[in-house]
Amino acid sequence: MTTLQGRTAIVSGSGRGIGAAVAHKLAAHGANVVVNDLDEAVARATAAEITAVGGSAVACPGNVTEVGFAQRFVDTAVDSFGGLDIIVNNAGYTWDGVVQKMGDEQWDAILDVHLKAPFQILRAAQPVISAAAKRESAAGNPVTRKVVNISSLAGLYGNAGQANYSAGKAGILGLTKAIAKEWGRYRVTVNAVAFGLIETRLTSSAEDAETIEIEGREITVGVNPMIRQAAQHIAPLGRLGTPEEAAGAVYLLCLPESDYITGEVLACSGGLVG
């Protein structure tokens, strides 16, 4: 299928989990994809997996919060594929704690990755998108581009122990709605997907005590097993989602059929709310 043939996408945090599933999904439908991950080997491996099955992908490893990363990310798309059509702001992680025990570093780190980095990527992309829109308009061949920002049910309803994450994921919704109004003149749709519990290493059982390394910090990730179990009972679909199902929600907002949908938030949670 080639519904996205000729489109170029950048997907942050796409070496693993939901991001990798999004990268594979977009590439499988014809898009050129720039894959990003903190771990260079992981980013390059995912890009290689895509090309091995006939897709088109390159890697742009690095931390999305690093100074200069946003411009490098955008430049990689332009230099490798000649343009930029789809932006998926997906990179992120959790660093939980109740408010009275949460330090400024813990707060800032999560706000930086979930809100500041997407803002910086969109800011870096604006000149490319604006120039392309002007060229296409002058030629009588307008093109609709797509931005999909990743949020969470925590951003819609809050989550105990996640003041930082909930604030970041709520903030990305405000950013989504603001940029939708700013970029409509460029024929860019800007939407968000709010995920519920999707099976990834970040939502594995906390009993497994998995850790991730971010800027030299070892951060424990995972979800309370009682919450995982309860969510499966409460969700109308009765289970957690898969990364491939999560990628499907992002893909819907990248299709031409969604060209008149902008400034919206799509919940992908199996019906789970709150």
Residues forming the active site: 165
* C-alpha torsion angle, residues 45, 94, 173, 159 (rounded to 10): 140
- 106 alpha-carbon distance from chain centroid: 21
CA atoms within 13 A on the CB side of 40: 0
Cα-based distances in Å from 103 to 17, 163, 216: 28, 11, 17
The beta strand positions in the chain, using DSSP E, are 8-11, 32-35, 56-59, 86-89, 145-152, 188-195, 210-214, 217-221, 265-268
3-state secondary structure 169-184: HHHHHHHHHHHHHHHH
Q: How many Cβ atoms from other residues are within 10 Å of residue 132's Cβ?
A: 19
What is residue 131's three-state secondary structure?
Answer: helix
Q: Determine phi and psi for 7, rounding to 5 degrees.
A: -80, 150
SS3 for 212?
strand
How far apart are alpha carbons 122 and 268 in whole angstroms? 23
